[in-house]
Homo-oligomer: A and B are copies of this chain.
Amino acid sequence: MTSIAVRSVTKRFGPSGTPPVLGSIDLEIGAGQFVALLGSSGCGKTTLLRTIGGLETASGGTITVDGRSVTGGASERRKALADVGFVFQEHNLLPWRTALENVALPLQSRKVAKATRTAKAGEMLELVGLSHAADKLPHEMSGGMRQRVAIARALAYDPGVLLMDEPFGALDAQTRDNLNLELQRIWLEARKTVVFVTHSISEAVFLADRVVVMQAQPGRVVADVTIDLARSRGADVMATPEFARYTGLLRDALDGHDAPALNDPAPNATEEKSA
């Protein structure tokens, strides 16, 4: 079953004539799939994610989430996005709310009772290792703490689709590893559809079912690699030769040597796109 379908989506900021930020993007993501999005800085990952999340209007093409159009009317879009959680590249915490209150916000918006949402938000803060900082305001937190609060916020209301834009970018290795494991656990339990932008190739391989590689000008998909590693994966998976093969493959795709490296065994899981 398809969860997210991106069809011939283009995006330009500015009047037609300006070069597009996204060329023509086609992407189909099955329900419960974990897709990592790799690509160099400025290639359009955030833009693609934001367009899927209904935060930018596509200049062309259509996007559906769970069969509902995101690119159409506002009420249809709202319905389509009701079950979508977003972790932004910048934390976007509300400066007047404490960590706990920020995490509880989506629950509050869903009219969850106060006691329940405080409990739930507390749980989420615990998950990201911030129980001790529940009462801090954003300006009293470190960069990494803010980002973790933002992750907790997106997880708090248990959305079926998670769009995560470099959620672990500002975290130290240890916290990051912990959260990687947690995210995998959550995903294995609940089988959410996840689109996960990251700059770390190994993080992508470790977490994802499938890694989509983008390149810039215009932003386009240049590789789409299925990661056939058994779940649940432990830290030890990183030492396996398959893991190294995948990271090598992806590194090449990122460098632009796409064609030769992409001889992946799985038949229709790897596709090639040319600009």
Contacts and interface: CB of A to CB of B under 8 A. Distances in A.
A90 interface: yes
A195 to B, nearest CB: 16
B173 A42 contact: no
Contacts of A38: 172
A145 B41 CA distance: 6
Interface residues of A, number: 34
Given A172-B199, A199-B176, A42 B166 contact: no
A200 to B, nearest CB: 7
A139 B49 CA distance: 17
Interface string A151-183: 000000000000000100111111110000000
Contacts of A251: 173
Assembly of this chain: how many copies?
Answer: 2
A142 interface: yes
Given A169-B169, A170-B199, 17 more contacts: A39-B172, A40-B174, A41-B142, A41-B143, A41-B175, A42-B145, A45-B142, A89-B143, A89-B170, A90-B143, A144-B199, A169-B170, A172-B254, A173-B199, A173-B201, A173-B254, A174-B254
